[in-house]
Amino acid sequence: MTLEYATRYRRASRIPADPTKPYVIEKGEGDRAHLFGDLVTVYAGAEQTENTFNFFTVEGPKGDIIPAHLHADTHEVFYVTQGAVRLFVEDLAGEQMERLLTPGDFGFVPKNCTHSYRMERHHSQVVGVAAGPGRTYERFFENLGTPVGEMGLPHAPVVPEPQKFATVPQEFDVRFLPDHQWRTQ
Ligand SMILES: O=C(Oc1cc(O)cc(O)c1C(=O)O)c1ccc(O)c(O)c1
């Protein structure tokens, strides 16, 4: 039997509302949201880990570009499990690098390092873990994007309205840098 719980985020979630309860979630059945071309699936977050880390996947289509951004208080892990993902990172000294990550490859982006990525094969998948001295930020995806019940990638990109762009990212420690230039290509 598959259990569903009402939580503060969803009427029906596979994540128990009681943070002391052990649980398992079948593939793809975490709390799902669409943002840009991506399907983000959250399996654990702030409530489960006393704000110490989260665990989610991001899947997207070929060509999907996440705009350059940084997190002042959040360190991030990019572990690629499907497809190919080109990760762009700038360190605190301003040195830039880009690397193509394929399944099993791992990228670490410390807080305050500007980064972005591009999916280079259809339906690439990144496993994300993000944590820092502040709160975890996994609910960013459904707040800037749209919570969904369906399993697949968005049929059309979910582009947030300007009003959401103006408020949601900073609430979740995300700072988009629209004028940032990558000099690596
Ligand atoms: O892919 C990750 O995050 C994002 C996905 C989006 O569709 C839009 C975004 O703005 C982001 C973002 O990072 O802000 C991702 C992957 C791995 C990881 O550890 C993350 O913290 C985020």
Closest C-alpha among 161, 145, 143 to residue 66: 145
Mutate to test the pocket of ligand 1, among 32, 56, 66 (most ligand atoms within 8 A of CB): 66
Cα(143)–Cα(93) distance, integer angstroms: 32
Q: Is the ipTM of this complex over 0.90?
A: yes
Residue range 152-161: mean pLDDT, rounded: 96
Instruction: State which ligand 1 atom lies nearest to the alpha carbon of 117.
Output: 1
Instruction: State the amino acid at position 136 in one-letter form.
Output: T
Cα(10)–Cα(83) distance, integer angstroms: 30
Structure tokens at 140: 């960013």
Confidence grade of residue 64 (pLDDT, cut at 50, 70, 90): confident
- β-pairing, 124-131 vs 55-60, is antiparallel
Q: Is the CB of 153 under 6 A from ligand 1?
A: no
Question: For residue 143, which phi and psi values (nearest 5 degrees)?
Answer: -80, -40
Q: What percent of the chain has pLDDT over 90?
A: 92
Q: Computed over its alpha carbons, how large is the radius of gyration of the chain? A: 16
Tell me how far apart the terminal alpha carbons of the chain are, to the nearest angstrom.
50
Question: For residue 102, which phi and psi values (nearest 5 degrees)?
Answer: -120, 175
Give this prediction's pTM: 0.95
Where do the domains of the chain lie, and which CATH numbers do they carry? 32-148 (2.60.120.10)
At 155, is the secondary structure helix, strand, or coil? coil
> Ligand 1 centroid vs 180 CA: distance in angstroms?
17
Confidence grade of residue 134 (pLDDT, cut at 50, 70, 90): confident
